[in-house]
Amino acid sequence: MPDLPLREFGGKGAFIAEIEEALLAGEIDLAVHSAKDLPVEDDERFVIAGVLPRQDARDVLVTRSGVCLEELEHPLIGTGSPRRRFQMKALLPDASFLELRGNVPTRLQKLKSGVCDGVILAAAGLKRLGMEQESGFWYRYFTEEEMLSAGGQGIIAIEGKTGSSASALAGAVSDWRASLELAAERRVLQILQAGCHAAIGVFAEADSQKMRLRICMEAEGAPRCADETVFWNHEEDHRAQALGLAGQLAGSL
């Protein structure tokens, strides 16, 4: 199972179905997820009740110390993500890829043992585990211009039943910035019908004045990108403006 492609056993939703069943049964009041692992499609029975402040949303290429991928012939990169593969191919055309899953320590151990020459991981996961500077490895943090992150990457989402008191409590402590960013990114993915098999990056950056939204996707083997900024009209609802920007930008592709 750990080395099978995610699509072969149900996609991202396979990991959260059991948790949502517990929510419906009243066995738990709230569920905590990595936001990028939530299915794109909304389910009226559930709500993303709140989100935590966003951690580093970048991707990281990890190699063994002293290994320079540019000097290798056909370096082998461990990742199961179509998005990472198509963006990495633009940066390193000679690269080939290995389907690689499992938790962060498992992936780093496979790298250490020589199963592959490098692995691509989420910076947020590394930092939350305190593994962003393990000895014996070299870490290259991609800029968003080099590798645009997945929708929801770096965000912890709190899921609850629609209309429950627990969901209301989670909403009261939700981070406003991450909430707006996640809403815009999910709307893009919904409009483009981009599930877990899609090679698409989408990243929103919000502050008190504006939101910038970027999309980069693979279309017929080539990248198709869009980038737009909306300045908040403080007489309007910011969430509505964020969703409007997402619809406009996704529609342009």
Mean pLDDT of 139-168: 96
Report the greatest alpha carbon distance in the chain: 57
CA atoms within 13 A on the CB side of 10: 9
pLDDT at residue 141 greater than cutoff 80: yes
pLDDT at residue 7 greater than cutoff 70: no
Positions annotated as catalytic residues are 37
Higher pLDDT, 106 or 13: 106
Q: Does domain 6-55+151-251 have CATH number 3.10.290.20?
A: no
pLDDT at residue 39 greater than cutoff 80: yes
Q: Where, residue-wise, is CATH 3.40.190.10 in the chain?
A: 59-141
Q: Where, residue-wise, is CATH 3.30.160.40 in the chain?
A: 6-55+151-251
pLDDT tier for residue 2 given thresholds of 50, 70 and 90: very low
Encoded tokens for 8: 């072969």
pLDDT at residue 162 greater than cutoff 90: yes
pLDDT at residue 194 greater than cutoff 60: yes
pLDDT at residue 232 greater than cutoff 50: yes
pLDDT at residue 12 greater than cutoff 70: no
Domain 59-141 class?
alpha beta
Encoded tokens for 161: 């039943």
Q: How far apart are alpha carbons 154 and 43 in whole angstroms?
A: 22
pLDDT tier for residue 60 given thresholds of 50, 70 and 90: very high
Q: How far apart are alpha carbons 101 and 7 in whole angstroms?
A: 12
Q: What is the pLDDT of residue 196?
A: 62
Q: How far apart are alpha carbons 165 and 145 in whole angstroms?
A: 41
Q: What is the pTM of this model?
A: 0.89
